[in-house]
Amino acid sequence: MFETILEATPISTKGAIISLVVALVLGFLISLIYILSEKKKNYSSHFALTLVLLPAIVAVVIMLVGSDIAKAISLGGVFALVRFRSVPGDSKDIMSVFFTMAVGLACGMGYVNMAITIAVVIGIIYFLLTRFGYAEKRNIPKQLKITIPENLNYQGAFDDLFEEYSDGASLEKVKTTNLGTLYELTYNINLKKDIDEKQFIDSIRCRNGNLNIILNKMPERTEVL
């Protein structure tokens, strides 16, 4: 079922063309899945284009290798291409790169049936998991920074407000500012669904003397694969 269409040496023109065409088509399919899986349409157009071409590029590298020994050595260099992005992406982007590279490797070795099977099966699973929000957090955690005067005891000062507007809050950091006359409190907080954020912030302003309040998304942790 998964026999190669390429001879060991030399590479047949017909087989190479078939492998390249299949790699490009599957790359376009993977890129389309990546675009459609982004619910908020905040995908990168450059990254989507890369997913189209990457399988064909990997296939060309593998077809040009020739011998098994050289092929084994080249695989390390091919997979090092995962470092091609200067700005670190999230784990889903990195997975997409490995996905396209696996398809390109299969095409480059002539296993076009296997490449099609990999692209279809994993692509469908990938699309369904992302579209149906598998493992998505319903309440997006946020970071809350509150500046208070030095004469306000911050321990328990906002607990009743956190209980009313959130599903949980934890004090992560306390630091002094303005030559020690002010304190800056940093909380990790899970706000309840459909709350009025302005009303929540206004309630805090009544406690901290109308000093600075910052509510923003939780900084993403850097994931190392």
Query: pLDDT of 145-166, one tens digit each?
Result: 999 999 999 999 999 999 999 9
- Asked whether the beta carbons of 23 and 103 are under 8 A apart, the reply is yes
pLDDT of residue 5: 66
Gap between the Cα atoms of 39 and 4, Å rounded: 38
Which one is the CATH code of 142-217: 3.75.10.10, 3.30.70.240, 3.40.140.10, 3.40.220.10? 3.30.70.240
What's residue 68's pLDDT?
56
Q: Which of 62, 63, 135, 28 lies closest to 92, judged by CA?
A: 135
Can you give the residue ranges of every domain in the chain? 13-131, 142-217
Of the two residues 155 and 81, the one the predictor is more confident about is 155
Tens-place pLDDT, residues 18-76: 999 999 999 999 999 999 887 666 788 888 999 999 999 888 878 877 555 555 555 65
Overall average pLDDT of the 92-119 stretch: 89
Sorted by sequence, the CB contacts under 8 Å of residue 166 that are 6+ apart come out as 189, 190, 191, 192
> How far out from the chain centre does Cα 47 lie?
12
Specify the pLDDT at position 225.
41
Q: Between residues 6 and 60, which one has the greater pLDDT?
A: 60
Burial degree of 62 (CB within 10 A; 0-12, 13-18, 19+) = buried
pLDDT higher for 205 or 8?
A: 205
53's tokens = 């071409």
